Amino acid sequence: MIKIGLIKEGKIPSDSRVALIPPQCKWMMQHFPDIAIVVQSSANRCFSDDEYRRAGIQVTDDVSDCNILLGIKEVPKPDLIPNKVYLFFSHTRKKQPYNQALFQEMIRKNITLIDYECLEHEDGQRIIGFGFFAGIVGAHNGMMCYGKRTGLFHLGRVYEVKDYRSLIHHYFGLKLPNIKIAVTGSGRVAHGIIEVMNLLGVTEVEPDEYLEKKFTYPVYVQLKGADLFTHKHLKTYQREHFHAHAKDYRSRFLPYAHCSDILMNGIFWTEDMPRLFELSDIDEYFAIQTISDITDDAHGSVPINLGDQTIEDPVYGVDRKSFIKTEPYLPGSIDVIAVGNLPNELPRDASRYFGEQLMKYVLPDLLASGSSMIERATILKHGQLTQPFSYLSDYAAGTVE
């Protein structure tokens, strides 16, 4: 019998999402008789302890007898139970300095870490994540921010509505001005952004039309890899080559910055990739007034992302000349929305979606043995770095600060 525990979230600020919702736990136990699922009691989870109990799931404070522990965000160091298998978003694969001590603690406690972010199909496509709902919330917040800056329309806050279905009702009858919106990316985040664009009645146009024409209605353009980057010398784009040799490429985004009102950024980014633009590009021709940086890499693909805000207070301004953080909505600033846990504004919907992917594509392999997919996502095995993540050895040793 394998015992799976859904742990309570301990990271501050608190997160209310969960890996499996009550009906999903019930279904798993009915269809996999060799497993048991227990839920660690939590006052902050979007599904209450009583909802799990009504589904026939045991709720307990102590999950130390579980074989596998499922969380969402990073687990605080004191809460880590030695010798366990953990699945959560560890945010360590890029050697993030703020989680180095957590990573070292997992090594000391002989923990096996399977990172959701590293679960991929054979072709490298991410299997699981909250990107779709991050895109939905990020797109809504970007539109909300632009409406507030200009006074042309009003949108309320996502977290104040019950669920996604209720959110859609806020879009009925909303008339937008003839704005131009650049959407970057082609993954789940971009799909979420485009979902909101369609609900708002924003028309998609091709990149050349977007750059060349003026419109009397709101439009957006979706910019994928080949639209955003080109080889410095060959003037071509090849996806696999780009991800292997990103330093050989430059950004093609600047012409879009000269004619866009809003940027919805949903691209994956690492430090060797070119930024969408540089600080020196922000001049009188830089037309963007609002940036929703949904992938949210501080000083990353959007260099004026100066760090996270909170769900309750998501927007700050960045002065166009000094690049210092200001209050939002000032005439000489660009507004930036940068929030690390956007899906937590729709936690019940996001958890349901996440759990569906987990049940279909991950848990069967996790409960079996010899899954190459699980092996590729295992960063630590019994406290030891696995071969695919040997590049983290200096990070694990504490020589990366």
- pLDDT tens digits, 6-23: 999 999 878 999 999 999
Secondary structure (DSSP) of 162-210:
SSHHHHHHTTTTPPP-S-EEEEE-SSHHHHHHHHHHHHTTPEE--HHHH
Would you kindly state where each structural domain of the chain is located, as residue ranges? 2-111+347-397, 131-345
Tens-place pLDDT, residues 243-294: 999 999 999 999 999 999 999 999 999 889 999 999 999 999 999 999 999 9
Nearest of 228, 230, 182, 174 to residue 204 by alpha carbon:
182
Output 137 or 1, whichever has higher pLDDT: 137
399 has a pLDDT exceeding 80: no
What residues contact 200, with CB distance under 8 A and at least 6 apart? 143, 171, 174, 176, 218
C-alpha 388/C-alpha 370 separation (Å) is 16
Percent of the chain residues topping a pLDDT of 90: 93
206 has a pLDDT exceeding 80: yes
Six token digits for residue 322: 């000094």
Tens-place pLDDT, residues 152-180: 999 999 999 989 999 999 899 999 999 99
> Mean of the per-residue pLDDT values for the chain?
95
Burial class (CB in 10 A: 0-12, 13-18, 19+), 197: buried
- Residues linked to residue 204 through DSSP beta bridges, in sequence order: 220
Strands 325-326 and 333-337: unpaired
72-76, 277-281, 368-372: the lowest-pLDDT one:
368-372
Asked if 2-111+347-397 and 131-345 have one fold, the answer is yes
400 has a pLDDT exceeding 90: no
C-alpha 270/C-alpha 297 separation (Å) is 9
C-alpha 7/C-alpha 25 separation (Å) is 13
One-letter amino acid for residue 32 of the chain: F
30 has a pLDDT exceeding 70: yes
Work out the number of other CB atoms within 10 angstroms of the CB of residue 331. Answer: 7
Strands 290-293 and 262-265: parallel
C-alpha 36/C-alpha 211 separation (Å) is 56
Work out the number of other CB atoms within 10 angstroms of the CB of residue 215. Answer: 13
| pLDDT for res 13 | 79
Kind and range of the H or E element at 264?
A: strand 262-265
One-letter amino acid for residue 392 of the chain: L
C-alpha 345/C-alpha 342 separation (Å) is 6
Six token digits for residue 205: 């146009």
Six token digits for residue 271: 């430090």
Give me the mean pLDDT over the 324-348 stretch.
Answer: 96
| pLDDT for res 401 | 56
Nearest of 330, 328, 347 to residue 142 by alpha carbon:
328
CATH number of 131-345: 3.40.50.720
C-alpha 118/C-alpha 124 separation (Å) is 9
The one-character DSSP state at 279 is G
What residues contact 370, with CB distance under 8 A and at least 6 apart? none
Give me the mean pLDDT over the 45-53 stretch.
Answer: 97
Give me the mean pLDDT over the 346-371 stretch.
Answer: 94
Domain 2-111+347-397: which CATH number of 1.10.10.10, 3.40.50.720, 3.30.470.10, 3.90.550.10:
3.40.50.720
Query: pTM of the predicted model, to two decimals?
Result: 0.90
